[in-house]
Structure 1
Amino acid sequence: MKIALVSDWYYPKVGGVASHMHNLALKLRERGNEVAIVTNYWKTGKEEELEKNGIELIKVEGVISPILSINLSFGINSSEELFEYLNDFDVIHSHHAFTPLALKAAKAGRKMGKATLLTTHSISFAHESKLWKALGLSFPVFSHYLKFPHCIISVSEASKSFIEHFTDTEIKVIPNGVDDKRFHPNWDKEELKEEYDIEGDVILYVSRMSYRKGPQVLLNAFSRLKEGTLIMVGPGELLPFLKAQAKFLGIDKRVRFLGYVPSNELPKLFGMADIFVLPSVTAEAFGIVILEAMASGVPVVATNVGGIPEIVRESQSGLLVPPSNETALKDAIEALLADKELRNKLGKNGRRAVERRYSWDVVSREVEETYEYVLSKLKH
């Protein structure tokens, strides 16, 4: 098959959509397909890797918003203007349901008679996001475009429930994937702790330093624990505030803010962790970092929001707490710190679930089967 994966939100925009597209492209190519990534006309930083792996990178010209990372030209341009970019493909697979390039590609694919799919990666426009303010309440626009895909893929039951508000198109749930060869439980924890000059238990947070991810809640909860080191990985607008918060709470000697960490370093950090925490205060469609923790055999403490409970409950890989509840978060972390046997059990459960359901090998096969299903419907 010749497959085009289309989105405004490929690299250099760091996030779940870009990571998902990139890994899916690599796996689909590995499975013998011809694959291209179609995105905005800017430097992605992935040019060499894609070329080395035989994946085409097609850049669509247009004015890109520096704030929203979307192609403003294609907010206005007609879908027909994408025909020249997409004409050679059998499958047009858009990613993220609410950005111009993805929506226009879905319409263009359908008009050209191609197998057309769209993966929705979100539950809602987080109410504090700039995207929400920019788009306003233009729901009829989305409903118009979301009728064009032959099939919509949702990364969780929660995101399926959300997208159903906008479309009657058939929806299939296929979760995000994780590279279970990069993220694995076979590290020597003590050796890694020595390398990072850390003693004792390690609690790990990997995500943006933004309010909706809840790092401020985690710091308050951690300040009530007597031991352990908290490692906080990720950039974001709250970082200066969080450093001040840690100092105010008197835990700055026990908290390490690493900022942005290159992706090749992350497996070691997960390999060193005793507990992984994602304390999101608003809905997450999925939370890929939870899969990275599970693949690494690390037990998870996360909040009961969005698609997170689906993963954690089904896999029995961790403990769930209410969002913004510092006491419950502290108690859950404390319970795992005190019970190594429980940590090991939850960690093994997580790894097993990844191998069965969330490995990119499994997920890419399921996506490919969905392409074949849509193509077979077009032939009849």
Structure 2
Amino acid sequence: MPYNIAMTSDFFYPQPGGVESHMYQLATKLIDRGHKVIIITHSYKTRHGVRYLTNGLKVYYVPFFVIYRESTLPTVFSFFPIFRNILIREKIDIVHGHASLSSLCHEAILHARTMGLRTCFTDHSLFGFADAASILTNKLLKFTLSDVDHVICVSHTCKENTVLRAALDPSMVSVIPNAVVAENFKPDPTAASKSHITIVVISRLFYNKGTDLLVAAIPRICELHPSVHFIIAGSGPKAIDLEQMLEKHMLQDRVQMLGPVRHEEYWWRLQAAGYMLPEEDDLVSATSRAIKEIRMGRVKTEKFHEQVKSMYSWTDVAERTERVYEGICTGERVGLMERLKRYYGCGIWAGKLFVLCVVVDSLILVLLEFLFPQSGIDTARSWPTKAPRMTDGGGRRDRSKRRGSNVEAVVEEDLNGVREN
């Protein structure tokens, strides 16, 4: 059966990134399979209100204060009124949150569970256990995932990391990998240099992306292999460490830093790559072996595209995610007391704080129902999936009833509804 799904995260277009691309590609493929999908994120400088993207994907850009790396200020309860309004308007069945560092995602899952909706969470990154930021993030993740229907991770390593961080039952965590749009990354063997080997790195330059390993490994690789060059695309606080490393080892002529690169420019940056990129020694050793294989002609990099194309597909990701949705929608619903038991087991002091948050959230829902009853909130019309063939009396198509007219009516009605509410 088709589901009405709300994907929620602080990270979405127009900001580029892996989470943003994952949400967009997954949403469009789920729409192709007959589901209704909306995105709820915070507003950006150039994005406010309601926007429609390709395939009728509706995005709500909610005005919230951003504090760090496009993450909104955690307020726990202030997001609830507008979030409830959107879910009721769109008749949402499932709330799907993305990214551990998104406070909007954590709050959305809490409020959705309070409203009795099904919830799902996808984790995209690996985090540690020792530093203060990781400890705080892991405790917040434990709070959110104590009462979630299912968890998705993008790799088996990510699953192990998430299970340990949030103390989860491994049976409630599925692994569904990311995919690529193979048509956007067609190789051009003639573009690679014959005189030297180029290693291309495209990543956000943050600690959790392994930039420190890159800083340590590049000088050693360049010393061992004089014909190797690097191209690094991406931005972040660790860019300063890379620049200092280049100055210290005088590698400016062998390492090119491009800064942030738009998604549509990735493909021709990758054309120059001989191959692409977790202890430092292992990284250097593996890279050295790969360089040797390429020099001896044992590796045909142009064949990688066909292999990856057959292995990863966003359609396959959508089908597997759909099966997760089917599983959580057929499961038993839990009451408030069972939810409180789950939260209470999160720690001596944290458990009591979590229970208090859930109780307050439930009281806020009662207050919202009294002040803004569900019956008084208009429901939004869904984006038309197919254009019905309409004719006038003479059998000709009625141009006044084309799909374009229906679309304009839906857009105008939705915008009016948002202004009123």
Structure 1 length-normalised TM: 0.73
> Equivalent residues in 2 for 1:1-380 (5 A)?
1-43=3-45, 50-65=52-67, 67-72=68-73, 74-77=75-78, 79=80, 82-87=83-88, 88-124=91-127, 132-133=132-133, 137=136, 141-165=140-164, 166-168=166-168, 170-185=172-187, 187=188, 189-190=189-190, 192-193=191-192, 199-210=195-206, 212-213=210-211, 214-220=213-219, 221-277=221-277, 303=278, 322-324=279-281, 327-329=284-286, 331-341=288-298, 343-344=299-300, 348=303, 351-356=306-311, 358-377=312-331
Are the structure 2 counterparts of residues 325 and 163 from structure 1 closer, same or farther at C-alpha, using a change threshold of 3 Å? closer
More helix by share: 2
Which letter maps to 1:7? S
1:111 corresponds to which letter in structure 2?
A: T
User: Structure 1 residues 11, 115: CA separation in 2 closer, same or farther (over 3 Å shift)?
Assistant: same
Partners of 1:79 and 1:108 within 8 A in 2: yes
Fraction of identical pairs, as percent: 24
Any conservation in 2 of the 1:203–1:228 contact (CA below 8 Å)? yes
Separation of aligned partners in 1, 2:23 and 2:37: 11
The structure-2 alpha-carbon separation of the partners of 1:326 and 1:151, relative to structure 1 and needing over 3 Å to count, comes to: closer
| Unaligned segments of structure 1, at least 5 residues | 278-302, 304-321
Letter in 2 for 1:331: S
Tell me by how many angstroms 1:75 deviates.
3.4
Q: Is the 8 A contact 1:217 1:326 kept in 2?
A: no
Post-superposition shift, 1:36?
A: 0.9
Cα 1:255–1:140 change in 2 (3 A) is closer
Q: What SS does the aligned partner of 1:340 have?
A: coil
**Alignment partners' CA distance in 2, 1:49 and 1:230:** 39
Q: In structure 2, what is the Cα distance between the partners aligned to 1:77 and 1:154?
A: 28
- Secondary structure, counterpart of 1:53 in structure 2: helix
1:74 is paired with a residue whose SS is coil
Structure 1 residues 61 and 363, CA gap change in structure 2 (3 angstroms): same
How far off is 1:229 after superposition?
2.9
Cα deviation for residue 151 of structure 1 reads 0.9
Deviations 1:25-58 (A, max 9, x none): 2222233322111011224669999534311111
Q: Would the alpha carbon gap of residues 142 and 232 (structure 1) be closer, same or farther in structure 2, given more than 3 Å must change?
A: closer
Cα displacement string for residues 228-279 of structure 1 (whole angstroms, at most 9, x for unaligned residues): 43222222334355345335434432332222121111112223311113xx
What is the TM-score with the length of structure 2 in the denominator? 0.66
Is the 1:5–1:92 Cα contact (8 Å) retained in structure 2? yes
What is the letter of the counterpart of residue 365 of structure 1? E
For residues 195-222 of structure 1, what are the alpha-carbon distances to aligned partners after superposition, in whole Å with 9 as ceiling and x for unaligned?
Answer: xxx8543221222334532331342112
Tell me if the contact between 2:192 and 2:271 (Cα under 8 Å) persists in the aligned partners.
Answer: no
- Residues 177 and 8 (structure 1), Cα distance of their counterparts in 2 relative to 1, 3 Å cut: same
Number of equivalences = 323
**Contact 1:11/1:44 (CA < 8 Å) preserved in 2?**
no
Q: Which runs of 5+ in 2 are unaligned?
A: 334-421
Q: Would you say the 8 A contact 2:200–2:273 is kept in 1?
A: yes
Q: Which amino acid aligns with 1:223?
A: E
CA distance in 1, matches of 2:295, 2:155: 32
Aligned equivalents of 1:2 and 1:164: distance in 2? 28
CA distance 1:235–1:223, shift in 2 (3 Å): farther
